[in-house]
Structure 1
Amino acid sequence: MTDTVKKPDPATAQEEETAPDTAVSNGEDSEAAEVSLQDELEEARRKAGEYHDRVLRMQAEMENLRKRAERDISNTHKYAIEKFAGELLQVKDSLELGLDAGEADAAKLQEGSALTLKVLTSALQKFAIEEVDPLGEPFDPNLHQAMTTEESDEHGPNTVIRVMQKGYTLHERLLRPAMVIVSRAPEESSG
């Protein structure tokens, strides 16, 4: 028997030598990739936490804004007539002064009533509340409510000939129609 010692093939020997290096290199690469992925994961988690915090803060801010708006609306409804009420208090004061002077003569009471009416009219005008006093004007169903009609030779048909109760508008929007009597043409007498 002959002992044959195989000589290593130079190409195979080189592969065997480089194979451990490749394995080591692959191990290092996968370790580096794992570290890189862990870093990316940590960064993504950090950003997700920041975004979550932002969302929570925005939700809290929106809730506070909603509550503030509700409170403002509530206060607006509660105190919408605050200035108007202040003006009406002057009218009340004038009426009380007139009642306190009950023993005064009729002329002074009438003068006090006229002044009180003037104060009230001024207060209404400050808040754009205007009178609708349509005497002599054509009947307008948007501003007037006809109580009845009367024949009239003096006025044309559908003319307001008497105002039973004045109407009022607020910024040109009707608060109360004027209660009126409207003219109609006289009936022809057959004869």
Structure 2
Amino acid sequence: MTTEPMKDAAEQAAAENAEPGTRQDEAVAALEQELEAARGENALLREDALRERADLENQRKRMARELENARRFANERLLGELLPVIDSLEAALQAGGEGEAGVREGIELTLRMLLKVASDHGLAEVHPVDAPFNPEHHQAMSATTDPDRPADQVVQVYQKGWVLNGRLLRPALVVVNKHD
């Protein structure tokens, strides 16, 4: 009998010692779960921060492009309104062939100055005689048939086109050669 009470005491002591160990294991497991949850949340926050940084960088680049385009094309309206003036000066030069030499020279000088200022601001003419037809820069007003010329070649220009820094401001009005 003496062995049984000792055995019960040993089992009771083992049970008492097992409870705190189990509680510690449960506490450690709970802390590990919290740690994993915190790591997952940290990873999500890090991803969000990186995404926000990339979005801000993209927005900065987009704003820089838009600012550059605004700077390059700020004078588009002004130069567009000057095109009829250039057309009128050129028409005056063609019509006044036999007029006074001083008037003609003055018109020529004025036109050259105007074209230089426009060119300095990125304006370039599109005068495509004998060039292939380009629907992005030319507007076909009529067609003709000339077997001596290639098909889809510009034969005549009714009105010059204009490009501002690579962007079409006004298409050239042209006659295009067509073959049947």
Task: Normalising by structure 1, report the TM-score.
Answer: 0.46
Select the structure of larger CA radius of gyration.
Answer: 1
Higher RCO structure (Cα 8 Å, ≥6 apart): 2
